[in-house]
């Protein structure tokens, strides 16, 4: 078994996280360029690549294989979910918005956080277009649907999928349901209270438009749901 790498080797990763968090604030226009993002990633990733090539070339090959598998899965879910269009404009009450987040939090574990986010963000924004105070809704959507919701299966979260590729049973993550339920329920309750307060401060005209401009939810590309089931089954039986 190869010796573990020194602790300081995590510094490039920490620097990458700081760059993602701070550059949009410090250098917003510079950070808009994808080329500049690639430069930052290359500069921070090159030392780690060289270190692995020198000390653990076999581990580098093994990790590359796992990450290629992950990228293939992510791309598949992204393309399939992108072909499903859910449209509609419901009344943007706190209860309706909370229901969107709750459904997305559960869905994220089975179609991936990316797939669930792509599927639900459009109808959620459409539903809230008559309201002026929507920033908190997008923030909680990011917390719940794009992150926490993917805890229950390897499909939902990249580290869980990489663990699955290393031999962790597919159903092992089901045991995380107490943590998933605690975090999801806590944030949903917090969101409901927060959105109720914001909803009370909306103008009468905005609430009237929201109440009258209703469009039932409609789904296009439902056939892609079969492909999603196929991807889930393929991953679940990968080690069968």
Q: Label residue 53 by pLDDT band (50, 70, 90).
A: confident
Closest CA to 157 of 138, 136, 135, 172: 172
Q: Which pLDDT score is estimated for 240?
A: 59
Closest CA to 120 of 217, 193, 223, 207: 217
User: Cα–Cα distances in Å, from 218 out to 128, 139, 152, 195, 226?
Assistant: 17, 25, 28, 25, 18
pLDDT at 1 over 60: no
Are 148 and 180 within 8 A, CB to CB?
Answer: yes
Closest CA to 114 of 86, 59, 166, 76: 76
> Minimum mean pLDDT among 1-5, 110-114, 160-164, 172-176: which range?
1-5
- Average pLDDT of the residues in 62-87: 83
The dihedral built from the CA positions of residue 110, 111, 112 and 116, taken in this order, carries a sign that is: negative
Q: Which pLDDT score is estimated for 205?
A: 92
Residue range 122-164, pLDDT digits in tens: 999 999 999 999 999 999 999 999 999 999 999 888 888 888 8
3-class SS of residue 40: helix
User: DSSP string spanning 98-124?
Assistant: HHHHHHHHHHHHHHHHHHHHHHHHHHH
pLDDT at 22 over 80: yes
3-class SS of residue 87: strand
DSSP conformation class of 105: H
Q: Which residues contact 165 (CB under 8 A, 6 or more apart)?
A: 66, 69, 70
Are 30 and 36 within 8 A, CB to CB?
Answer: yes
Domain-by-domain residue ranges, the chain? Answer: 1-55, 58-236
> Minimum mean pLDDT among 114-123, 135-144, 220-229: which range?
220-229
Closest CA to 192 of 91, 90, 88, 99: 99
Q: Which pLDDT score is estimated for 239?
A: 67
Q: Which pLDDT score is estimated for 149?
A: 95
């Amino acid at each position: 078994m190869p010796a573990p790498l020194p602790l300081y080797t995590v510094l490039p990763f920490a620097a990458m996280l700081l760059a993602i968090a701070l550059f949009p604030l410090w250098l917003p226009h510079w950070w808009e360029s994808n080329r500049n993002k690639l430069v930052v990633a290359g500069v921070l990733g090159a030392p780690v690549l060289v270190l692995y090539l020198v000390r653990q070339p076999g581990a580098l090959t093994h990790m590359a294989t796992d990450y290629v598998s992950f990228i293939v899965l992510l791309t598949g879910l992204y393309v399939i979910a992108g072909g499903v269009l859910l449209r509609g404009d419901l009344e943007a009450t706190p209860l309706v918005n909370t229901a969107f987040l709750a459904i997305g939090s559960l869905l994220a574990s089975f179609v991936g956080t990316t797939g669930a986010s792509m599927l639900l963000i459009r109808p959620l924004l459409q539903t809230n277009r008559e309201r002026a105070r929507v920033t908190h809704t997008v923030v909680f959507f990011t917390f719940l649907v794009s992150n926490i919701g993917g805890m229950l299966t390897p499909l939902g979260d990249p580290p869980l999928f990489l663990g699955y590729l290393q031999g962790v049973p597919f159903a092992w993550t089901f045991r995380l349901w107490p943590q998933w339920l605690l975090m999801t329920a806590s944030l949903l309750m917090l969101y409901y209270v927060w959105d109720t307060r914001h909803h009370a401060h909306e103008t009468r005209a905005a609430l009237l438009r929201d109440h009258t401009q209703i469009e039932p939810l409609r789904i296009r590309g439902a056939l892609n749901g079969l492909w999603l089931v196929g991807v889930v089954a393929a991953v679940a039986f990968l080690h069968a």
